[in-house]
Every structure is written in structure tokens, then in C-alpha cells.
Chain A
Amino acid sequence: MKFERKDILGIKELSVDEINFILETAESFLEVSTRKIKKVPTLRGKTIINLFYEASTRTRTSFEIAGKRLSADTINISSSTSSVVKGETLIDTARNLEAMNPDVIVIRHSASGAPHLLATLVKQSIINAGDGAHEHPTQALLDMMTIKEHKGKIAGLKVAIIGDIEHSRVARSNIYGLSKMGANVVLAGPATMMPRNIEQMGVKVFNKIEGAIEDADVIMMLRIQLERQKQSIFPSLREYSQHYCLNRNNIKMAKKDVIVMHPGPINRGVEISPDIADDPSFSVILDQVNKGVAVRMALLYLLTGGSE
């Protein structure tokens, strides 16, 4: 298969074949990270810019490591404030970066659609590393890779995503990806965290965690952002954790071999109890992080013409 895309903006646009191809390519890169010398010359002479307009530790580091292990030159531009506050527009920043001839620009932005704007402006490949509440395609790809490794398949699995779906780009990308791959995706959270007409994405919605995690093969917990309390999305962390925290007690409703995932960073004791998060018989959270590097290596490789 030849990978034809210029950009990776979302899972929505990807076909099942493309997703499988990315995951297979990622498999072949897993091994590199286990070597003593964790470096291959594949992208020597290529330049990758990580343009991060939003705070990120995991994703930015993961992209940087992925680029470096492929011998690309990686440059990080972090701005805690938006381009508007900074005084230069995203369009001007993009044109300036384009003039320096990088090969790939990885962008994270708090505004949904910012990577799409960038992609229309510059000739370089764009990878969306998370845009607003829209998509986080590399997270969904690494999640699918993790599920595939632990379950041997994705089709036919029941996957429960729990928490603040409304504000979650991880949820949207996973709903697209997992549904395409044949999983049965269910959601749970209070009605204030469910975006309107989400059922039209082909998912079932529960207001209580129990209905969603019953017989689940995979449980994906989302981070609860403390500042949402101010917007009256929920009354208190105390009440939220009493009803939506995944713990030793309610996890019994899921399948015995259920795996527990979390895109991080975890609020221990809010959406997930510490003993579940740390229990290797359930938790694959750190495995997700590990897969993240391989998936990002695969995308950088494919977008720079690796499949030709």
C-alpha cells in the first residue's frame, strides 16, 4: 500500500485500510525503542517542527522522541499563549515556518480546526497533535494499537469511554476509529458532559457508569478538568468521583479480562482510583505511552514518503 495523504488531521477521514496500514507500520517501529542504540537513520536530513500552542508534556515529548529515533532534526516551538495573544497570527507563523522548509509540522492548538487552517496554507505535511475539542488522531491510533496488542483484535469488542465527552478530542477520535474498526463504543457521563446528538456518531449513551462498563472489554477513562466546575458542568469533584470513578467495586461488572486505559494525565481518585490505575492486571496506561512513540514514528515515516 502506498500512503497518499499529505496530512493527518483526524481519524474521521481515514479508511480502515489506512488505519491498519499505520498500525502495522507502527508495529515495525516498536522494536527500535527496545534497542541499546535507539536510533535508525530513516529520516536523516528531514526536519520536523513541533508547534505547540497548548501545554503538553506527554504528546510533545513523544513526538520529539519519535522524530529523534528516526534521526530527523526536531525543533520545538512552545507557546503557552495563543497566537492571537502573542501578536502574530497563525497564518503568519505558518508562512514563516514554511519558508524554512521543514518536512513535517506537528501542531497542537486549543482552537478546533487550527491544523486544518494550517494544512490549507502550507505545502508541508501537517500532523494534528490535538485541536480543541475536535480530534487527537495520534492518541486514537496509539489506543487502537494498545487494544489490538492486548485483545488481538478490535472488531466485536465493547469499549466504554467514561467522563467529559463534550470537551474531549480523545473521545471523538476514538469514537471514529474504534467504530470504523468494528468495536461497539458506549459512553457514560452526566448529561452536562454529553455533546448534543452524539448518538449520531453511532454510539450508545448512558448517564451512569454501570450501564456502560457492564461486560466491557475495554474501559477508557477521561480526565476531568477541574476548571469545568466553574462552568457548572458538574457540582463538585467529590460528587463526581462518588458516581463516575472507576474503582475496585464497579470494575467487577466488566469482563474479567477488561483493560483500563487513560490518555493522561490522571486525576487519581477523581475519575480513576489509584489502585486500579496502578494494577497491572487492568491498567495499560503506561503501555499506551509506549505505543505512542511507535505510532508517531510510523506517521512521520509515512508522511515523508516512507511507503514509496
Chain B
Amino acid sequence: MKMLLTGARIIDPAQNIDSRLDIFLENGKIAKLGENLSKSLKLKDSEKTTKIIDLAGMILVPGLIDMHTHLREPGYEYKETIASGSAAAVAGGFTSIACMPNTNPVNDNRSITEFIIRKAAEAALVNVYPVGAISTDSAGLKLTEFWDLKEAGIVALSDDGQPVMSAALMRRAMEYASSLKLPVISHCEDTNLSADGLMNEGYYSTILGLRGIPNAAEEVMIARDILIAEFTGTPVHIAHVSTAGSIRLIRDAKKRGLKVTAETAPHYFTLTDEALQSYDTNFKINPPLRSKQDVVAIKEGLADGTIDVIACDHAPHGRTDKEVEFEYAANGISGLETSLGLSLNLLSNKIINWPELITKMSLNPARILNLPKGTLETGADADITVIDPQVKWTVDVQAFRSRGKNSPFNGRKMQGKAILTIVGGEIKYDGR
């Protein structure tokens, strides 16, 4: 299968490319990148075997990677399956996703990892990279078998959603993982401080009478993990950063040369806790939507590189999980199909530029997870996302490929979306 994509503005931060070029794909790999390839390749004879797509006015980038998703299978197939989550991913412009281990059973052993990889292969839409649990059943007591999990195919370790409260266990996890070159992703939340909190602690939790989650619940653990990273000399990746204090801590750690990386999710630079006044459970997430000052700080962190990655923390839920009293509702946003659209606002608001956006949504996640992805270099896997930066659309959760219709962005007007998602040289989503 050969494909020639012509006329798009190609942005590949790994090669420092940002210009109007053609790209030729062959056998699932990127074969050539250059000007006027249709002439130099002498395609006329072989037009029948080469698919030529004119992409004038479009932006072509290395396939987007979301390193923080929840695919819910096995165990919660009514919320999402690996197949439905993969379909949502390609529709959102993603060619690779990493999925967190909080399934049922938890992905804490080889058999679950192998199951996920097999299901992903059957769906055959997107590259699915499982994240293994740090501790057995993510209970925070005993390390899982990192070597075995790695051999089975995990790309990182995390007890996402069930933060490792023992500093001693976290230290051992980071040390042991570093000898395998497995990144550790930390969901930073001191559960004693967050307790049974329901939203950001501040003026709005006060007037809504909802128990608060203080910024400090996140920051205390980020500080802890930075100190452990410094002491052990090992890397750590901080998941879904939501507060101004967290940005300060991570910025300072990076300045001091520590191997700390961090991600945030589109909702943390788009929404504030003010939105919860309707008690709409679609706004209930963990970490919670924070204050205006925090949103400003997150944007500053994106602009100055403190935040390396945008990952949407895709957390699909069924109706029964959300159509209840706010207190009883599950946390999470079904994010894969709105992540790019929301992130494109960072460009129109002049927070970051195109190459920076693509770095945070493709190159950096690839580097952090040690994936041979995130670039359009010759010989690389032909994972490509084509974005129409002009197209206007409205979010409609009923049209989501994801089973999770839980989005606070339903009805929101957007500009720009992925119109073509190519994985391994094959078109897996065509929204033209």
C-alpha cells in the first residue's frame, strides 16, 4: 500500500520541519518527505497502486499520542471497550494511546496485559500501549512484577486513581523501574487531604456545600515525588497537573535538572470550578476543576515548557455512573474526541505555537514512554494526523464513538479537528 499526501503544511518538531511539503508512505512506513514528490516519484505509471490525497490548507503532523486514557476493558465494558475507545481515539486524531491499569481485574500481571494487547490488535485501529500497575491490585502494598509486565508489553507503571500513599513503596517503585527503563507515572493526590472531597476547595465549594479537595492534596505528593526523584536520581512523570502550586514545584525541579516530566489535561486549561454551580456531574473529575488563578498558571506552565504533555485523562462512564446525585457520581470526562479541539484554543489564544502543541501531543509522550513514534522521519511508522484548522463544528456527545457520553463540552462550538488519521500507513479515520 502506497500513499502520497500532498500540499499540506507539515509540522514535525523532531526534525524541526514546518513547511509545505509532500509525504510518501510505503509499506506502513514513512518513505519520503519533500517538495513536489508527485513529479520526482514519477507516479504517473503507478497511480493505480498509489493513493494520492490532496491536503491543501491542512496541517499534517506525526500521529497524536494520548498517554493517559482509561479503556475500561476488562471489567467495565458498559463504560468503554478497547474497540470503542480505539474508535474514539482515531476520531479524535490519535494514532497511539496508553491505557491506565485501573480495570477489573487491575492490570497488575502479564495475563491482563496480554489480554489488552490482543483486544487492541483485534480492534486494529490504534496503537494501544498498556500501563501496568505499580502495586498488586493497585492497593499500594506490594510491587507488581515489573519485568514480567514489561515483557508482556507495558510501557509505563502507574497506580493511577489509587495514588501510592507510601513514600517508601514509591521510592522502591521508582528505583526498580529505572533499572528497566520503565517510566513511573504518578497520580499525585494525598488521599488523607483529599479525603472524601468532591470538588476544588474554595469559594465555590463553600457556597455549593460540597466537600472540598485542597490544592495541597496534589502539591504535597508532587513535592514528595520530586524529592524521591532527586534522592534516587530516577525519573518520574506527574499525571494531570491541575494547580498553580504544582506548576511552581515542577518548574523548580526542572530548573534544578531533575528528571521530572508532567502532563495536564485540556479541561484544566479550559474550565474552572465556577462551572459546577449547576451540580452537573459531567464537571465532576479528579483532580477537580480548579480556580481561575490555577488555570492561568497551567497556561503559563504550557507556555514555558513546565508542562511537557497534553493528555486528556479519557475517563468514559455509563449513564448510571453520572445520572445520580453529585456526591455519588463517578469522576471523569470522556475526552478523546474533544482533546485536540480544546487544545487548538491554545494556538488562537497565543499560549503556544503549532510546533509546541505537536511536541506536547506527540513527540514528548513518545519520548517519555520510549515509543518509536512522534516523528515523520524516513523509516518511522506511518502514523499521521491531518488537521483541518478552519473547520467549525459543535460537540455532540451522541455522535461520540466512545461509549462514554460524559462530557461537559457537549454543545460547545469548536474550530479545528482531525480529518484524517493514518495508523501504520492505513487510513483508520476519514472525516473529510
Across the two chains, which residue of chain B brings its CB closest to A84?
A: B328
CA–CA, A114 to B279, complex, Å? Answer: 9
A interface list, Cβ under 8 A from B: 12, 82-84, 89-91, 109-114, 116-117, 131-135, 169, 172, 195-198, 200-201
Contacts of A113 in B (CB 8 A): 208-210, 279, 325-327
- Of B205, B208, B279, B325, chain A has the most CB atoms within 10 Å of the CB of B325
B324 sits at the interface (CB 8 A): yes
Q: For residue A182, give the distance in angstroms from its CB to the closest CB of chain B.
A: 20
Query: Closest B-chain residue to A200, C-beta based?
Result: B203
- Interface pair B208/A134, CB less than 8 Å apart: yes
The 7 A-B pairs with the shortest beta carbon distances in the complex, nearest first, are: A134-B209, A113-B279, A133-B209, A111-B325, A197-B203, A195-B206, A112-B209
**In the complex, residue of chain B having the shortest beta-carbon distance to the beta carbon of A169:** B209
Determine the chain A residues whose CB is within 8 A of the CB of B323 once the complex forms: 89, 91
Determine the distance from Cα of A186 to Cα of B32 in the docked complex, in whole angstroms: 73
Interface residues of B in 304-325 (CB under 8 A from A): 320, 323-325
CA distance in complex: A84, B320 (Å) = 11
Residues of chain B contacted by A114 (CB below 8 angstroms)? 325
Residues of B within 8 A of A84 (CB): 324-325, 328
Task: Identify the closest chain A residue to B324 (Cβ).
Answer: A89
Q: Tally chain B residues at the interface, Cβ within 8 Å.
A: 20
Contacting residues, chain A, for B202 (C-beta < 8 A): 196-197
CB pair B206 A111 closer than 8 Å:
no
User: Contact between A196 and B212 (Cβ–Cβ < 8 Å)?
Assistant: yes
Interface pairs (25), CB distance under 8 Å: A12-B207, A83-B325, A90-B324, A91-B323, A111-B328, A112-B209, A112-B326, A113-B209, A113-B325, A114-B325, A116-B278, A116-B279, A117-B326, A131-B209, A132-B327, A133-B209, A133-B210, A133-B211, A134-B209, A134-B210, A169-B209, A172-B207, A196-B206, A200-B203, A201-B206
20 A-B pairs besides A113-B279, A117-B279, A134-B209 with CB distance below 8 A are A84-B325, A89-B323, A90-B324, A110-B327, A111-B325, A111-B327, A112-B210, A112-B326, A113-B325, A113-B327, A114-B325, A131-B209, A133-B211, A134-B210, A195-B206, A196-B201, A196-B202, A196-B205, A201-B206, A201-B207
Cβ–Cβ contact B325 & A109, under 8 A: yes
- CA–CA, A114 to B325, complex, Å? 6
Q: Which residues of A contact B209 (CB under 8 A)?
A: 112-113, 131-135, 169, 172
Distance in Å: Cβ of B218 to nearest Cβ of chain A:
16
Residues of B with C-beta under 8 A to A89: 320, 323-324
For B206, list chain A residues within 8 Å (CB).
Answer: 195-198, 200-201
Cα distance, A195 to B211, chains bound together (Å): 9
Shortest C-beta distance, B275 to chain A (Å), equals 13
Within 8 A of A (CB), among B153-204: 201-203
Q: How far is the CB of B65 from chain A (nearest CB, A)?
A: 37
Q: Are B326 and A111 in touch, CB under 8 angstroms?
A: yes
Q: B284 → chain A, closest Cβ, in Å?
A: 11
Residues of A within 8 A of B208 (CB): 112-113, 134
Give bound CA distance, A117 to B202, whole Å.
23
Q: Which residue of B lies closest to A194 (CB)?
A: B206
B residues 354-383 in Cβ contact with A at 8 Å? none
Q: In the complex, what distance in Å separates the CA atom of A63 from the CA atom of B328?
A: 27
State in angstroms the CA–CA spacing of A110 and B326 once bound together: 11
Give Cα A116–Cα B324 distance, bound, in whole angstroms. Answer: 11
CB distance from A5 to the nearest CB of B (A): 17
Measured in the bound complex, the distance between the Cα atoms of B328 and A84 in whole Å is 8
Chain A residues near B326 (CB, 8 Å)?
A: 111-113, 117
Which of A84, A90, A116, A169 counts the most B-chain CB atoms under 10 A from its CB? A116
Tell me, in angstroms, the Cα distance from A112 to B278 when the chains sit together.
Answer: 11
In the assembled complex, the Cα of A198 lies from the Cα of B205 at a distance in Å of: 10
Candidate in A89, A112, A200 with the most chain B CB atoms within 10 angstroms:
A112
Chain B residues with Cβ below 8 Å from A132 are 209-210, 327
Residues of B within 8 A of A12 (CB): 207
Q: How far is the CA of A172 from the CA of B326 in the complex (A)?
A: 19
Instruction: Give the chain A neighbours of B203 by CB distance below 8 A.
Output: 196-197, 200
CB distance from B199 to the nearest CB of A (A): 10
> How many Å from the CB of B204 to the closest CB on chain A?
9
- Which residue on chain A has the smallest CB distance to residue B200? A196
Chain B residues near A109: list those with CB within 8 A.
Answer: 325
B327–A112 touching, CB < 8 Å: yes
CA distance A134 to B209 in the complex (A): 4
Contacts of B201 in A (CB 8 A): 196
Complex Cα–Cα for A232 and B323 (A):
33
Taking CB as reference atom, which chain A residue is nearest B291?
A197
Chain B residue at minimal CB-CB distance from A116: B279
| A133–B326 CA distance with the chains assembled, in angstroms | 13
Instruction: Give min CB distance, A103 to chain B, whole Å.
Output: 24
B210 and A91 contact, CB distance less than 8 A: no
CB neighbours (8 Å) of B320 from chain A are 89
Q: Which of B133-168 touch A at CB < 8 Å?
A: none
How long is the Cα–Cα vector from A112 to B209 in the complex, in angstroms? 6
Q: Which residues of A contact B328 (CB under 8 A)?
A: 82, 84, 111
A91: contacting residue among B205, B324, B327, CB under 8 A: B324
Name B199's closest neighbour in chain A (CB-CB).
Answer: A112
The residues of B that contact A117 with a CB separation of less than 8 Å are: 279, 325-326
The interface residues of chain B lying within 8 Å CB-to-CB of A172 are 207, 209
- Residue of B whose beta carbon sits closest to that of A131: B209
